[in-house]
């Protein structure tokens, strides 16, 4: 039995290698997004102000740019993860990343947990006077005449790439350290929340809490497909709330 466990650990990167490879993948994603932004500015003929703050304000709510960055990042992230996983001798992509379907009972349980989280999160937002729909979502949506490309990016590309990286790749390697699985879930959730700097502190904390739920779901079921669906559904609710919000204020 100990030998079997040792063989399983040898089939995936350890914690230090996981962190280093994770930083490499993140760097590649950042470079990809930078290239996408530069190409977008060049093709659109956008003239940016010399003041950095004004220049950022011109682009931070651009839905088309966000969609392009999300799609390009998703492709690069997926390719980078596959390459990194295959570089580990003895690794199996399906087992490494949790590319398995959950049992029906597991799916139902975690879906209900997510529904409960959404209700509690929205209820807390109303209770403390925070908007259910963040300013970022509203402004990004209204920047597009036809927002379908933004919804495709948020509903398909983002859940796919983010779950593969944060819940698929990071948790697997970090769990084999003194952090154990619960420490790996906390650390990956923190990293996931930090990259969502388009939201305020309350929004980032909410994303961190959601990350904990997705991380535990990944560990307990072994399925990244489950967390992809939960991520997708949560985003779908956010989009629906945005549409209702915009119709309400325009009525």
The per-residue pLDDT for range 28-67, each reduced to its tens digit, is 999 999 999 889 888 876 665 555 455 556 688 889 999 9
Q: What's the longest Cα–Cα distance across the chain?
A: 66
Domain boundaries, the chain: 2-250
Q: Which residues contact 17 (CB under 8 A, 6 or more apart)?
A: 173
* Burial (CB count within 10 angstroms: exposed 0-12, middle 13-18, buried 19+), residue 27: exposed
Are the beta carbons of 232 and 155 closer than 8 angstroms? yes
Q: State residue 177's pLDDT score.
A: 82
Provide the pLDDT for residue 172.
92
pLDDT of residue 164: 96
Each as own residue / partner, the long-range contacts of residues 96-100 (CB below 8 Å, 24 or more positions apart, any chain) are 96/11, 96/12, 96/168, 96/169, 96/172, 97/164, 97/168, 97/169, 97/172, 97/224, 98/167, 98/168, 98/172, 98/218, 98/222, 98/223, 98/224, 98/225, 99/224, 99/225, 100/222, 100/223, 100/225
Q: Where are the alpha helices (DSSP H) in the chain?
A: 2-10, 15-44, 52-59, 63-87, 93-97, 104-127, 135-142, 148-152, 158-162, 171-174, 180-194, 201-221, 224-250
Please state, in angstroms and rounded to a whole number, the distance separating the CA atoms of residues 45 and 65. 13
Phi-psi region of 88 (alpha: psi -120 to 50; beta: other; left: phi over 0): beta
User: What pLDDT score was predicted for residue 2?
Assistant: 45
Selection from 231, 246, 79, 65 nearest residue 156 by Cα: 231
On the CB side of 131, CA atoms within 13 Å amount to 15
Point out the residues of the chain with pLDDT beneath 70: 1-10, 45-58, 251
Residues 210, 230, 78: CA angle, nearest 5 degrees? 95
- Show Cβ contacts of residue 80 under 8 Å, excluding neighbours closer than 6 positions: 24, 25, 28, 29
Q: What pLDDT sits at residue 198?
A: 85
pLDDT of 6 reads 44
pLDDT digits (tens, 9 = 90+) for 2-22: 444 444 556 889 999 999 999
Q: For tokens 């003041």, name the residue.
A: 51
pTM of the model: 0.90
């Amino acid at each position: 039995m100990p030998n079997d466990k040792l063989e399983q650990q040898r089939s995936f990167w350890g914690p230090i290698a996981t962190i280093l490879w994770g930083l490499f993948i993140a760097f590649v994603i950042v470079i990809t997004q930078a290239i996408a932004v530069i190409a977008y500015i060049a093709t659109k003929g956008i003239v940016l102000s010399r003041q950095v703050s004004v220049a950022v304000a011109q682009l931070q709510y651009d839905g088309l740019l966000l969609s392009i960055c999300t799609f390009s990042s998703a492709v690069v992230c997926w390719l980078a993860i596959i390459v990194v996983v295959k570089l580990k001798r003895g690794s199996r992509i399906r087992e490494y990343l949790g590319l398995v379907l959950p049992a029906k009972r597991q799916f139902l349980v975690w879906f209900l947990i997510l529904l409960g989280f959404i209700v509690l999160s929205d209820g807390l937002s109303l209770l403390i006077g925070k908007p259910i729909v963040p300013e970022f979502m509203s402004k990004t949506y209204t920047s597009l005449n036809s927002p379908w490309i933004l919804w495709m990016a948020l509903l398909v590309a983002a859940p796919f790439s983010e779950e593969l990286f944060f819940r698929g790749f990071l948790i697997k390697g970090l769990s084999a350290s003194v952090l154990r699985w619960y420490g790996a879930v906390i650390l990956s959730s923190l990293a996931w929340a930090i990259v969502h700097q388009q939201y305020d502190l309350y929004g980032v904390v909410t994303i961190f809490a959601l990350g904990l739920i997705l991380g535990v779901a990944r560990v307990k079921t072994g399925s990244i497909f489950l967390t992809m669906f939960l991520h997708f559904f949560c985003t779908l609710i956010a989009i629906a709330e945005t549409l209702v919000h915009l119709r309400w204020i325009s009525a």
